[in-house]
Structure 1
Amino acid sequence: MPRPRTATAPHHAVQFADDSAVAAQAVDASKIYGSGPTAVRALDGLDVSFARGQFTAVMGPSGSGKSTLMHCMAGLDTLTSGGVVIDDVPLADLSERELTLLRRDRVGFIFQAYNLVPTLTAYENIVLPRRLGAREVDREWLDEVVEAVGLTDRLSHRPSELSGGQQQRVAVARALAGHPSIVFADEPTGNLDSRTGDEILQFMGTAVRQLGQTIVMVTHDPVAASYSDRVVFLVDGRIVNEMSNPQADDVLDVMKHLGD
């Protein structure tokens, strides 16, 4: 469940970059939980952008603000101050209904838990969000997605008939099925063994390279991060480092020295 919304600073005070190559960005993003001496500043004036067609990993120690950043970027939680845009649409401009529609039509989600409906087939689970929103399914696009994640011969199977890796493939396909502007993934391989996790990360990379998707993944795993194009490192709600074309050993070395 999303956290309760908090007061948001007027978005018109926030100057967003005018860049069509950016799928989503946050400017001067701050998020404070509580008040007074017990207040927790989860995000502290953070600026970040996520380019279209790029796979970005977000890393940091526990409590660094990784999940808070993802939730605020995805419109599941609201900033205390600063602003977020997706597809050049400031989230602070939107009513609750408009925000719900934006999340449905422009944002995909992949979580550790597969969240599949056990009585539905893989295909029915993949298209369920589209059906619930009375939206047409683009069969040509869906065929590309299904082939990319290797589910062509599993569409008639129910979750109980699929392995954990296959279930997560269904969850990945479901996130991609609506051709969202951006997909947010929260520890998507956390419940999988390393071999199956590697397969899922390869599929996500394929979605970026072959299908042009934009993916932002929160992870604590340097190996998972090595599948991305770019890693952003957070400490205490601020970005303290970035890395392009990451290698697992290099990511691990940065993680060891965060906060030094």
Structure 2
Amino acid sequence: MTAAARVEGAVKEYGAGETRVRALDGVSVEFAEARFTAVMGPSGSGKSTLMHCAAGLDTLSGGRAWIGGTELSGLGDRELTLLRRERIGFVFQAFNLVPTLTVRENITLPLDLGGTAPDREWLDTLVDVVGLGDRLHHRPAQLSGGQQQRVAVARALAGRPAVVFADEPTGNLDSRSGGEVLGLLRSAVDTMRGSVVMVTHDPAAAAYADTVLFLADGRLVDTVERPTAEGVLDRMKALDTRRDRAAAR
């Protein structure tokens, strides 16, 4: 399968000298096209750092990263900005909607910033999928948290990106609203043939993915295909036990 995004030998360090922290320690991974990949690991494992570097939001200290066939290290700031706008969608735990804009305006914002006219048929499809046709002229403050995050998902998909990166997208939502958002991301893969990479700490959320990657101490330590919530939870417990034993030596 073709990779929508990938990193090779990814190293990310913060600080210097005795305060230096290695958040990524030689990670190599491919995120396949038309697949939903979840990235999990304990706090400080490097999962969000991996996502940020793979998406060009942060730069690697060593190694290489690609979106499709484009290597990120060879791009200047303006080229990176254009690539993120045109080929990548983002969904974060904080909805990051513009409070003065309507739902429709928030969805089309990346296109408007790029001077690109929205595809009306695609926009209508997105609005239908996220179920907000009767809220298009509302502003974020008039929506529930789940509705706001659905707007954020539609915004991420509006430009038909090569890959959507989602960082704890259900972290601020109740289980019902979170399930709706995860269902949308799953639908983006199954019916829209998009690619989704999601960082999460929730085994139930990870069960929506095709593949789950596990990080620990900045390294890729395990992979699970066709995950279930129970299977992911068991794997996380096993990794925690392994870490505890290693720390006790």
- Which residue pairs with 1:125 in the alignment? 106
- Once the two structures are overlaid, the 10-residue window that deviates more, 72-81 or 112-121, is 112-121
How big is each residue's C-alpha offset from its partner over 1:129-158, in whole Å with a ceiling of 9 and x where there is no partner?
111111121112222222222122221221
Match of 1:77 among 58, 72, 91: 58
Q: Which runs of 5+ in 1 are unaligned?
A: 1-18
Amino acid at match of 1:67: S
Match of 1:160 among 112, 126, 141: 141
Count of matched residue pairs: 241
Local SS of the residue matching 2:192: coil
- Which residue pairs with 1:221 in the alignment? 202
Is residue 221 of structure 2 the alignment partner of residue 240 of structure 1?
A: yes
Q: Which runs of 5+ in 2 are unaligned?
A: 243-249
Decide whether the 8 Å contact of 1:148 with 1:207 is kept in 2. Answer: no
Q: Could you tell me the TM-score, scaled by structure 1's length?
A: 0.91
C-alpha RMSD over aligned residues: 1.0
Local SS of the residue matching 1:258: helix
Amino acid at match of 2:102: T
Partners of 1:132 and 1:70 lie apart in 2 by 24
Amino acid at match of 1:114: F
Partners of 1:239 and 1:138 lie apart in 2 by 39
**How do 1:163-202 residues align onto structure 2 when only pairs under 5 Å count?**
163-202=144-183
Partners of 1:128 and 1:85 lie apart in 2 by 25
**How do 1:7-156 residues align onto structure 2 when only pairs under 5 Å count?**
21-156=2-137
Partners of 1:188 and 1:31 lie apart in 2 by 23
- Which residue pairs with 1:5 in the alignment? none
Local SS of the residue matching 1:58: strand
- Which residue pairs with 1:11 in the alignment? none
Q: Report sequence identity in percent.
A: 63
- Once the two structures are overlaid, the 10-residue window that deviates more, 144-153 or 89-98, is 144-153
Amino acid at match of 2:190: R
Partners of 2:133 and 2:160 lie apart in 1 by 18
- Which residue pairs with 2:247 in the alignment? none
Runs of at least 4 residues off by over 2 Å: none
- Once the two structures are overlaid, the 10-residue window that deviates more, 104-113 or 132-141, is 132-141
Local SS of the residue matching 1:120: coil
Is residue 246 of structure 2 the alignment partner of residue 252 of structure 1?
A: no
How big is each residue's C-alpha offset from its partner over 1:194-216, in whole Å with a ceiling of 9 and x where there is no partner?
11101110111011100111010
Q: Could you tell me the TM-score, scaled by structure 2's length?
A: 0.94
Shift of 1:111: 0.5
- Once the two structures are overlaid, the 10-residue window that deviates more, 61-70 or 129-138, is 129-138
Shift of 1:26: 0.2
Partners of 1:112 and 1:40 lie apart in 2 by 25
Decide whether the 8 Å contact of 1:145 with 1:207 is kept in 2. Answer: no
Amino acid at match of 2:5: A
Partners of 2:101 and 2:81 lie apart in 1 by 24
